[in-house]
Structure 1
Amino acid sequence: MPEIIQSICILDDDSSVLSSLQQLLDSDGFAARTFDNPDRFLAYAQEHAVTLVLLDVWMPGTNGIEVQERLHEFSPGTRVIVMTGREEARVRDAAMESGAFAFLVKPFDDEAFLTLVHSAVDGGS
């Protein structure tokens, strides 16, 4: 079972996604903090060590790629799993070029998702 000291954050503007991912992570022994606002997440991440962020691409006012780039300016070691409801090659390429650990299209398989989270928090590639 993972250690609770791993800090996982979820950033998505959809409350149902936040809730379901938090429950899924909780069921596997992870504690996750949720955010529905990019600025609140970035403010939190500036003050706390974040191991992994699960980051939605399409949010009002900004997009996940911009958030990822801003995050890596002050926290380059934070791993990012980018999530989106739309498969777009240019978005995937931008996310991976900006240093994303992985790129997922919603909906995704729970077991594959948890395997990816374990790999990210354990420092895998």
Structure 2
Amino acid sequence: MTVPRPKILSLDDNQLLNSMRQKVLAMAGFDCDVADTAEQAFAMARASRYDALLLDYYLPGTNGIEVAQNMKPLQPKTPIILVTGEELYERSDAVHDYLVKGEGPQALIAKLHSAVSPATVNPKAKHAVAH
């Protein structure tokens, strides 16, 4: 039986960056859904369970910390990684980890592997592996 791939939701208003992130994560063994707006990400989070969320900090009309705080009730056990173009001094308990975009794909993959432990992987996926 194949091991299920961790399911990631990436929110970034830069569609090219989202597309590249989706491809990199697929090659690293993750399934990655992408959202271009906070509204789209909320709809996806209501419809599906994710093993980790990647949220851009700078978003039209909001920011990643606000999205993370509003996302927690929808995905309470899902770790959130805030992705930003520069070092942030604003922090939130809703955010599991932070990543500066210039750190590259290896840093992103390492942070996801750290965040997506066997205890956090989608319970439906764990059940499928156990049987």
Give the TM-score band, short-chain normalised.
Answer: 0.7 to 0.9
Task: Report the TM-score when normalising by structure 1.
Answer: 0.85
Question: What runs of 5+ residues in structure 2 fail to find an aligned partner?
Answer: 120-131
Identical columns (%):
31
Q: What corresponds to 2:7 in structure 1?
A: 7
Q: Does structure 2 retain, via aligned residues, the 8 Å contact 1:53–1:80?
A: yes
Task: Report the TM-score when normalising by structure 2.
Answer: 0.81
- The partner residue of 2:113 within 99, 118, 124 is 118
Pair 1:65 & 2:65 matched? yes
- The partner residue of 2:103 within 90, 93, 108 is 108
Q: What corresponds to 2:21 in structure 1?
A: 21
Q: Does structure 2 retain, via aligned residues, the 8 Å contact 1:2–1:30?
A: no
Q: What corresponds to 1:37 in structure 2?
A: 37
* Structure label with greater radius of gyration: 2
Distance in 2 between the 1:2 and 1:81 partners? 23
Q: What corresponds to 2:82 in structure 1?
A: 82
Which residue identity lines up with residue 87 of structure 2 in the other structure? E
Distance in 1 between the 2:30 and 2:58 partners? 25
SS at structure 1 position matched to 2:42 = helix
Shifted more, 106-115 versus 22-31: the winner is: 106-115
Distance 1:60 1:2, change over 3 A: farther
**RMSD, matched Cα:** 1.8
Q: What corresponds to 1:49 in structure 2?
A: 49
Which residue identity lines up with residue 38 of structure 2 in the other structure? P
The alpha carbon displacement at 1:98 in A equals 2.6
The alpha carbon displacement at 1:49 in A equals 0.8
- Count matched residues: 118
The alpha carbon displacement at 1:122 in A equals 1.4
Distance in 1 between the 2:9 and 2:50 partners? 7
SS at structure 2 position matched to 1:74 = coil
Which residue identity lines up with residue 99 of structure 1 in the other structure? A
Distance in 2 between the 1:66 and 1:112 partners? 24
